[in-house]
Amino acid sequence: MHKTDKAPSVIIFSQGDEVITGALVDTNAAFLADQCRLLGFDVIRHITVSDDLADLVQVLKEVDAMADVCLCTGGLGPTQDDLTAEAFAQAFQVELEMDSEALVMIAEFFAQLKIPMADVNKKQALLPTNSTRIDNRWGTAPGFSAVGQQCRFYFMPGVPYEMKQMMETFVLADLQRQFKLEQPRLITFRSMGMGESDIQQAVNSLEIDNDIRVSFRAGMPENELKLLFPQSHTKEQVQYWVDNVSDALGASLFAIDGWGQSVSNLPDCVDQLMTEKKLTLSLIETLSQGDIARQCQADWLLTSAVYPKVSGIQTAFSTVQQPIGEALALEIAKENRARHKTALSLVQLHKKVNDTTVAVFTAVADAHGHISSTKEVWGRALRQQTVASALAFNLIRKFIQNQ
Amino acid sequence: MHKTDKAPSVIIFSQGDEVITGALVDTNAAFLADQCRLLGFDVIRHITVSDDLADLVQVLKEVDAMADVCLCTGGLGPTQDDLTAEAFAQAFQVELEMDSEALVMIAEFFAQLKIPMADVNKKQALLPTNSTRIDNRWGTAPGFSAVGQQCRFYFMPGVPYEMKQMMETFVLADLQRQFKLEQPRLITFRSMGMGESDIQQAVNSLEIDNDIRVSFRAGMPENELKLLFPQSHTKEQVQYWVDNVSDALGASLFAIDGWGQSVSNLPDCVDQLMTEKKLTLSLIETLSQGDIARQCQADWLLTSAVYPKVSGIQTAFSTVQQPIGEALALEIAKENRARHKTALSLVQLHKKVNDTTVAVFTAVADAHGHISSTKEVWGRALRQQTVASALAFNLIRKFIQNQ
């Protein structure tokens, strides 16, 4: 196997009181780490500290000694708590200079919003000597890139949208210019209905090459299996593993993301099928209480009725006298489809089994046939809702794909 | 002002490839940081590293030299990647011992699930000498607590549910036993309808004491303003600031969490009002597509109908011939309430204004009166759904509270 050089290392550095105190979940760190990995970097650490100058200086020096690249978010705002540029200047003994172009851009930003620019905003145009400004067209804070003793730092705002725009317009391209990277290929196998341990066992038995990074994420209830192939793998080698993994996952596999397809989850998979086949849907939900409907697209979902208690359906479908179960779900699905004249109809009912478990009955029907299922779902109310919705989408998918 | 001793310091330490590579957003870190802050600790850093033994040993030593407490998640599983206990043993030169009680509990866990216990699971019962086991009744991995050179470490599983249970059943109480803490009082002002900059301006003008920590979180569209009072503040002092902040927020304030009340968000606020007044609700949604219904409680939501396109309603309410608007929403609300015999009825319609903006018409009616509103909502589809739902809950709240 072709041995590649060691990948350059990255540290993700988040700063700010909101993150350190837990007022805010740091979604930036995961986003940035993922982007770096897809470029071919090795992410070695995430570090978060508060807006304290001494701490910031200390961490910048530590990071400089440890990593080739540091992606830093937060601390670029106009207030006293925003100390990033100052901390960088102290850590690496450089000056801060007023960047006149940045100042003009900040002024223009305020002019556009018709808000007077406060004096404190001028501070945001102070950047370290020899740094490269990263423009921010979506907020007041420009970012900047600069090299410490040996590590290349990129400083971006903490606002996720502004950070992501800077990544797309400058940082990703600059990283590729500055470093020799072997970009890996990521393929995600999305499955539903096969347990975590079963998937792991199936994958273990395949004895996947060591240089393919295998990772697994147990969703609720969708599961993701990711294979990260080094650039050195040929299309044929990748295809070999895609075929083998697909066989191992069998019917539970609903999409292969990154290998011709682009599918983010089950509702997205169903949307692609409904759109492609120009189908429409009418829907009745109980346990999921609208959670199925909200994940459908308005283009093909014509109507949905929610009855948190199944007994509420009896008024609407008074002809139906059967006990709650799979057969009743199917009966109502047929009737509701006729009422609303949709191509497909889905009905999901449920019945309490015990304090923590409900039985979920799902039925899908069209003019020619139907499919139905009964599954027990345990856990708290929110978990039951989520699983029930996924069961519904999975049944629609199976029904359309098997036609 | 009474000067307190310096609060003991905490580092939040997350480990695992899923977090470091960005496959998973680390929600544990925010949860743990928040819990520590509420106990009176000072959170000084979050650190994340991958499942690499040398890295883990290195970080454990660094943390030991920096903080009084370290809360660590991940790395307790049965596989080769789970190296926490081994890393601790190496870092502080202690042995690993088989904990026979832990072994019995792991075996019982598998017996309960009727799954054979694999040999690798035995490894999970290996704990460092002189450590205190933390039982895990919700998974196979026991946690443990142990002191390094000077820092007290708590190791918990990465699965959020298991980690939270360990915090509640052992760690929080142990932290209070081991440290002398000055527990601050957290009060959260929840508001909706007042912009972020308006709230900040209103709060700035109050000139709140420096030792009260003020933080702000702009939600979509709910906003949270948090005041963290040192223990030294009397009830009267707290009441003074609660009154002042309440006045500043005015009618947009819907709940004060942590000062007699316990309210987590708008749907929770509405649930409390509906339950207390024994009301029932029938609902019609368009733009939000079920997002309102799923956040209601099955106890009082009797039925909901979803029409992603408003035109779909014309079949169901054929008598209604008015143009789409606030008056039509109100008309349908009255009719739907009569049909379903609920105490309250809410109807929300919408109309496209331009490519990024829709007008949302919401009406609530009961036997005696009604309330309605028209608001423009911009942004992508998911944002519009979320805001539309919040507008609905806010209108129900206003309607009930003004009676």
B322 pLDDT above the threshold of 70: yes
Cα(A285)–Cα(B303) distance, integer angstroms: 10
Cα(A49)–Cα(A16) distance, integer angstroms: 7
Say if the Cβ atoms of B289 and A293 lie within 8 Å: yes
| A168-188 pLDDT tens trace | 999 999 999 999 998 899 999
Smallest Cβ–Cβ distance between B298 and the set A24, A44, A309 belongs to: A309
Put simply, whether A7 touches B (Cβ < 8 Å) is no
Task: Give the phi and the psi of residue A67 in degrees, each rounded to 5.
Answer: -130, 160
| A258-277 pLDDT tens trace | 988 888 899 999 999 999 99
Put simply, whether A112 touches B (Cβ < 8 Å) is no
Put simply, whether B391 touches A (Cβ < 8 Å) is no
Say if the Cβ atoms of B26 and A21 lie within 8 Å: no
Smallest Cβ–Cβ distance between B43 and the set A20, A30, A283 belongs to: A20
CATH number of B268-401: 3.90.950.20
What is the percentage of chain A residues whose pLDDT exceeds 90? 63
Question: B78 preceded by cis ω (within 30°)?
Answer: no
Q: At what angle do helices B84-91 and B53-66 cross, to 10 degrees?
A: 60
Q: Which helix (H) or strand (E) holds B397?
A: helix B381-401
CA A217-B169-A195 angle, to 5 degrees, is 25
B298 pLDDT above the threshold of 70: yes
Query: Is the Cβ–Cβ distance between A28 and A47 less than 8 Å?
Result: no
- Specify the higher pLDDT residue, B72 or A23: B72
Q: A38: which residues sit within 8 A by CB, 6+ positions away? A: A183, A184, A186
**Mean pLDDT computed over B162-183:** 94
Find the residue in B nearest to A49 (Cα).
B45
Question: Minimal Cα–Cα distance from B403 to chain A, Å?
Answer: 27
| A334-351 pLDDT tens trace | 999 999 999 999 999 999
Q: Which of A223-237, A292-306, B351-365 bottoms out in mean pLDDT, i.e. has the lowest?
A: A223-237
The two structure tokens encoding residue B228: 């963290």
Question: Minimal Cα–Cα distance from A56 to chain B, Å?
Answer: 11
Q: B28: which residues sit within 8 A by CB, 6+ positions away? A: B14, B73, B158, B160, B163
Q: Which single residue is written with the structure tokens 């911009």?
A: B378
Question: Minimal Cα–Cα distance from B338 to chain A, Å?
Answer: 14
A185-259, which class in CATH?
alpha beta
Cα(A87)–Cα(B210) distance, integer angstroms: 24
CATH fold of the domain at B185-261? Alpha-Beta Plaits (3.30.70)
Q: Quick one: pLDDT at residue A1?
A: 31
Provide the residue type at B107 as one letter: A
| B116-134 pLDDT tens trace | 787 778 888 889 999 999 9
CATH fold of the domain at B9-178? Molybdenum Cofactor Biosythetic Enzyme; Chain A (3.40.980)
Which of B112, B138, B228, B289 to substitute to test the interface with A, most A CBs within 10 Å? Answer: B289
Q: Write down the H helix ranges in B205-351.
A: 235-249, 266-276, 313-316, 326-340
Task: Break chain B into its structural domains and give their ranges.
Answer: 9-178, 185-261, 268-401
Q: B264: which residues sit within 8 A by CB, 6+ positions away? A: B257
**A9-178 and A268-401 share one fold:** no
The ipTM is 0.80
Put simply, whether A23 touches B (Cβ < 8 Å) is yes
**Mean pLDDT computed over B374-382:** 90
Q: Quick one: pLDDT at residue A319?
A: 64
What is the percentage of chain B residues whose pLDDT exceeds 70? 97
B235 pLDDT above the threshold of 80: yes
